[in-house]
Amino acid sequence: MTPTDYEAIARDAGLERVGARPPLGQYLAEMWHRRAFATSLAKFRVQAQVSENRLGLAWIVLRPLLNAALYGTVFGIILPRDTRPDDVAFVPFVVVGVFIFEFFSKSFSDGAKSITGNASLVRSLNFPRMLLPLAQIIQQVIELVPMLLILAVIVLGFGAPLTWWWLLVIPAMVLMAMFNFGIALLAARVTVHLRDLTQVIPLITRLFFYASGIFFSLEEVLADQPAWMQKVAELNPVHAYITIVRDIMLGGHNAPGWMWAVAAIAGVVTMAVGIVFFWRAEERYGHD
C-alpha cells in the first residue's frame, strides 16, 4: 500500500494528521475553551517582570513617564509653539500620547516575538498557537490599567474636569486592543517566516510614533499642506486612538465623529484579517 492509501484509510476512520489545521470555527472555539491558558500566561509574565526589578510594577508606569518627560522636554523646546494645540496644556497632551502609544508599540513588538520566542512551547504542546499573541495582548491590557490611573491623576492635576465622558475611554481602549491583537497576529506570522522582521520593527514603530502626533498637533503641522495629506495622516488608526482619548480626557472635544468610525473599522477589520492570516499558517508554526 502507498502512503496515499494509508491516508485515505485514516480519513475514513476519522483520524487526522498530527498538527493539522482545524476549520476556523472549530479553531476559535478551542481558543475560547483554552482562554484560561492565555490569561494565566499573561499574569505570570507580569509577575515575573515585577519580581525581576527592584521597583517592580512601578516600572510599568515609570517607563512611559520618563519617555514623556524626555520627549516633552526636547520637543517642547525644539518644536515651534504654533505646532501645539491651543486649547489644552502641553504636558498632559504629551503624556496621553506617550501612554497610549506605549500600548500599541509593546503589543506590536512583543506580539511579533510571541511564536519565535516560545519555540519550545510550540513544538512540545498541542494548542491553538493564536493563544500566544493573545497572551501578549492580555499582558499589555493588564499593564495598561495602572498607566491609565496615573494618566488620570496627571490630567486632573492640570485642571481637566472629571466627567462621565471619561467612561468612553473604555470602548476606545477595547477597539485599540482589537487593533493591537490584529497587528500582533500579522507580525507573529510574518516573523516566523522572516526572522529579520524583528530588526525592522523598531523602525516601523518609530515611523508610527512620529506620524501619530505624540508631541504635536497634526492639524497644526499640516495646516499649510494639501487637504488630502492631512486626511491621509488622520486615517492612521494609532493617531485616531490617541486623539479620541485626548478628546475625552482633556476636554478639547476636537475629535470628529468620523474618527470613532476609523477607530472601530481599524479595530474590527485588522483583528479579522489578522485572525484569518495567522490561522492559515497554523500547521507551519514550530516546523519552520
Provide the pLDDT for residue 59: 66
Predicted confidence band of residue 7 (pLDDT cuts 50, 70, 90): very low
Between these two residues, 251 and 11, which has the higher pLDDT value? 251
How confident is the prediction for the chain on average, in pLDDT?
81
Provide the pLDDT for residue 188: 93
Predicted confidence band of residue 13 (pLDDT cuts 50, 70, 90): very low
Provide the pLDDT for residue 272: 97
Provide the pLDDT for residue 3: 46
Can you tell me the distance from the alpha carbon of 143 to that of 140, in angstroms, rounded to the nearest whole number?
5
The string of pLDDT tens digits covering residues 233-245 is 778 899 999 999 9
Provide the pLDDT for residue 9: 42
Residue with the three cell numbers 515609570: 62
Provide the pLDDT for residue 27: 92
**Of 114, 102, 209, residue with least CA distance to 146:** 102
User: Where do the H-state alpha helices sit in the chain?
Assistant: 3-12, 24-33, 35-52, 58-78, 90-112, 119-124, 131-157, 169-193, 197-211, 218-221, 227-234, 237-250, 257-279
137, three cell numbers: 495582548
Can you tell me the distance from the alpha carbon of 111 to that of 50, in angstroms, rounded to the nearest whole number?
20
Between these two residues, 198 and 226, which has the higher pLDDT value? 198
Q: Examine the pLDDT at 14 and tell me if it is beyond 60.
A: no
Provide the pLDDT for residue 75: 63
Provide the pLDDT for residue 58: 65
Q: What is the mean pLDDT of residues 27-42?
A: 92
Q: Examine the pLDDT at 180 and tell me if it is beyond 90.
A: yes
Provide the pLDDT for residue 47: 79
The string of pLDDT tens digits covering residues 66-109 is 777 776 666 666 655 555 565 567 788 888 888 899 999 999 99
Predicted confidence band of residue 63 (pLDDT cuts 50, 70, 90): confident
Q: What is the mean pLDDT of residues 115-144?
A: 89
Residue 251 · residue 156 · CB < 8 Å: no
User: Distance between the two ends of the chain, CA-based, in angstroms?
Assistant: 30
Q: Examine the pLDDT at 286 and tell me if it is beyond 90.
A: no
The whole-angstrom distance between residue 16's C-alpha and the CA centroid of its chain comes to: 35
DSSP string, 124-178: H--S-TTHHHHHHHHHHHHHHHHHHHHHHHHHHHTT----GGGGGHHHHHHHHHH
Between these two residues, 1 and 226, which has the higher pLDDT value? 226
Any idea which of 22-31, 71-80, 166-175 has the lowest mean pLDDT? 71-80
CA angle 93, 181, 231 (to 5 degrees): 50
Q: What is the mean pLDDT of residues 5-21?
A: 48
What Cα–Cα distance (Å) separates residue 149 from each residue in 70, 143, 155, 272?
21, 11, 10, 30
Q: What is the mean pLDDT of residues 58-71?
A: 71
Residue 85 has a CB neighbour count (10 Å cut-off) of 17
The string of pLDDT tens digits covering residues 188-197 is 999 988 877 7
